[in-house]
Amino acid sequence: MKKLIYIVGGLFAALLLVVVIITVVFDPNDYKDEISTAVKDATGRELIIGGDIGWNLFPSFGLGLADVSFSNPQGFPEPTMASLKSLDVSVAMLPLLGGTLKVSHIAIDDVKLNLITLADGTDNLSDLKSGSSTAKSTEPEAQSSGQKGLSGVELGAISITNIAVNVDNRQLGSKQLAELKHFKLNQFVPGARSDASLALLVKSDDTEIDVAIEAAITIASSFDVIELHELALDALIAGPSIPNGQLKKHVSGKGNINLAGPTVDLQDIQIEVGSLTGSGWFKFRQQAVPDIQVALAFDTLNVDEFTPVSNGESPEQAKKTPSDPDAEPDLSALKSLNFDGDLSFNKVLVAGLTVTNVKLHANLKDGVLDANPIHLDLYGGSADARAVLNAQQAVGSYRSEFALKSVQALPLLTDLADLKMVSGNANFDMNIRGTGLSTNKLKSASAGNGKFLFADGALEGVNIAQMIRSAKALLKGEKAPEEEKKTDFSSLSGSFTLAKGVATNPDLKLASPLLRVDGEGSMNVMANTLDYTATTEIVATSKGQGGADAEDLKGLKVPLKVSGPLDDLKYGIDFEEAMKGEYKEKLEKEKDKGLKKLSDKLGDFLGGKD
């Protein structure tokens, strides 16, 4: 045993002696000019080593470098392309005897890199790329047989601070800055836990992204698996285009990265983005078409919180540069990966609309996105849907199924589009399909059909019974009392077809204790207008809706016209047509009493024919 100790001690002493001799006899500073000249000959640029190249002897053997700069080519605004303030590397000597390279310390500080593209497209890397030799080395290739490499590599503490990369593209008129504030690693030893931290700042135009990462990892001895014990990422995005000026993000989790696949498997993911919080898991597999699987559950999503602001652009300015309504979106990205995932939200707030219990399963494979099922609860009822988007062709096609059940119509329409058209318990079914996803194609080329039923509600903005009572009062030379502009009904139903931008409804039916309405009409989707004709019949003598008795109007059928934009509908009675029946005879009897002129007033009052 003593002999072995003596042998090892002797070898170490001899190695130490060699190191001392090298550091005393060999001074790397003597070769700085030769190094600079070699770089000048190879690249045509200046390499300046302003500081000393120094040896480190204790506790490890190493080398230090300071104040190094590398120039830009002629014609660039910045004289320096890259600079380095200091670099220190230390290698433990004793592990080398066992074939292990142990870099005990690496420290790099204050590196600046300027990447510039001139207006003509020339950049300060072009000459380095073209000057690199592509010829094969004339040196004899090392033979793998008979040569023994290192049995292992270990890295000790790594400290990298103040690394700045400036990207100045004068051809595009853009500037970006990426600044690595620090990267620290306590050790990099296969099979052992390593703790790391990173702080990074990215500036692009008027937006800043500040990122901080804390991680604890273990890399397998075979270097093919990375175990993430802990991973935490915090980011702050700030800028005038960000809602409220800034947005905070936090993501944490753990999992495994298999470099042989490669695959990524993350578990216990926790996400905080602004006020949005969620959790779940994520899997990724690299293959011919990358595959992603994910399941994430969130609490409350306020979409307005993540909607970019307009950068101060007025509506008038926005109209000057409108998007092309015939432009088809680029769906090529849908063919670049496969995806299968589940997303859920307890609540979603968007443009004044509130929905709850949102659940979505989406599958993307070979360019076909199938969202099925889609479910959400809203305004006392629920909505279920399926949507399929096919991006296999140059112009995408789609089909969808949509159903509303027991939804309160008035608050839904009010919050969604500020429309107060109809109230009641709404049930709605629709199937739609089409080819082309431009704004105009979606409106004009969609085709489908559906049906609707509103129960126990009212038409808002019009009181059909009151309009007829007003006709009766005017015939008597009286003034009808004012009533609420609302037509109550027990049911409002119909079916429709959609083609060429027009939804056609041939069988509109409204039923109430006082009257019946049968009609037909259409909605122009492109213009957002309605055009309906209907026949209204008084079927009961009840006062109904707070009005006077209508006994002498019972059985009267009155043509009704509804037309105009959705947010400003006009209602009118075709009084001339109504007078062709029994009520016309009543009017004739009153002719001698001077009421003939009153019929003309009725036509004007009720919006009848000219």
pLDDT digits (tens, 9 = 90+) for 68-117: 999 998 889 889 999 999 988 887 766 666 666 677 778 899 999 999 99
For residues 136 and 368, what is the distance between their CA atoms, to the nearest angstrom? 47
Above 60 in pLDDT, residue 320?
Answer: no
Q: Quick one: what percent of the chain has pLDDT higher than 70?
A: 74
The answer to whether residue 576 sits within a structural domain is: yes
3-class secondary structure, 134: coil
Q: Which residue has the higher pLDDT, 421 or 180?
A: 180
Give me the pLDDT at residue 109, please: 93
Give me the pLDDT at residue 461, please: 78
For residues 389 and 365, what is the distance between their CA atoms, to the nearest angstrom? 11
Residue that terminates a domain, selected from 166, 189, 212: 189
The answer to whether residue 588 sits within a structural domain is: yes
For residues 549 and 541, what is the distance between their CA atoms, to the nearest angstrom? 6
State pLDDT tens for residues 574-604.
Answer: 655 655 555 555 545 544 444 444 445 444 4
Give me the pLDDT at residue 149, please: 53
The answer to whether residue 313 sits within a structural domain is: no
Mean pLDDT of 558-571: 83
Give me the pLDDT at residue 610, please: 42
Q: Are 43 and 128 in contact (CB under 8 A)?
A: yes
CA angle (68, 73, 75) in 5-degree steps: 130
Q: How far is CA 173 from CA 79, 239, 312, 457, 508, in A?
A: 20, 19, 21, 59, 59
The answer to whether residue 543 sits within a structural domain is: yes
Mean pLDDT of 481-494: 83
Above 80 in pLDDT, residue 333?
Answer: yes
The separation between CA 402 and the C-alpha centre of its own chain, rounded to angstroms, equals 23
Residue that terminates a domain, selected from 189, 207, 240: 189
The answer to whether residue 2 sits within a structural domain is: no
For residues 105 and 160, what is the distance between their CA atoms, to the nearest angstrom? 11
Mean pLDDT of 392-410: 93
**Model-level pTM?**
0.72
For residues 59 and 52, what is the distance between their CA atoms, to the nearest angstrom? 20
Residue at 372: amino acid letter: N
* Main-chain dihedrals φ then ψ at residue 14, nearest 5 degrees: -65, -40
The answer to whether residue 457 sits within a structural domain is: yes
Q: Are 602 and 575 in contact (CB under 8 A)?
A: yes
Give me the pLDDT at residue 12, please: 46
C-alpha R_g of the chain? 39
CA-nearest of 185, 181, 183 to 157 is 185
The answer to whether residue 206 sits within a structural domain is: no
For residues 398 and 431, what is the distance between their CA atoms, to the nearest angstrom? 11
Q: What letters, b where the CB count within 10 A reaches 16 and e where it falls short, cover 53-92?
A: bebbeeebbbebbbebbbbbbeebeeeebbbbbbbbbbbb
| Count of the separate structural domains present in the chain | 2
For residues 31 and 53, what is the distance between their CA atoms, to the nearest angstrom? 10
DSSP class of 470: H
Q: Which residue has the higher pLDDT, 463 or 48?
A: 48
When mean pLDDT is compared across 211-220, 348-357, 425-434, the lowest value belongs to: 348-357
The two three-digit tokens of residue 407, written as one number: 């939804």
What is the torsion angle, in degrees rounded to the nearest 10, for the CA atoms of residue 264, residue 265, residue 268 and residue 273? 30
**What residues contact 138, with CB distance under 8 A and at least 6 apart?**
none
Q: How far is CA 158 from CA 48, 120, 154, 329, 607, in A?
A: 25, 40, 11, 46, 85
Strand blocks (E) in 436-574? 447-460, 486-499, 502-511, 515-524, 529-538, 557-565, 570-573
State pLDDT tens for residues 250-301.
Answer: 999 999 999 988 999 999 999 999 899 999 999 999 998 999 999 999 999 9
State pLDDT tens for residues 161-195.
Answer: 999 999 999 998 888 999 999 999 888 888 889 99
Above 80 in pLDDT, residue 20?
Answer: no
**Surface-to-core class of residue 321, CB atoms within 10 Å of its CB (0-12 exposed, 13-18 middle, 19+ buried):** exposed
Above 90 in pLDDT, residue 6?
Answer: no
Would you say the C-alpha torsion 45, 175, 324, 440 has a positive or negative sign?
A: positive
Above 70 in pLDDT, residue 130?
Answer: no
DSSP class of 604: H
Share the mean pLDDT of the chain: 80
Q: Which of 32-36, 47-51, 70-74, 230-234 has the highest mean pLDDT?
A: 230-234
171 is in which domain, residue-wise? 32-123+152-189
The answer to whether residue 579 sits within a structural domain is: yes
Residue that terminates a domain, selected from 189, 218, 234: 189
Q: Quick one: what percent of the chain has pLDDT higher than 90?
A: 42
Give me the pLDDT at residue 472, please: 61
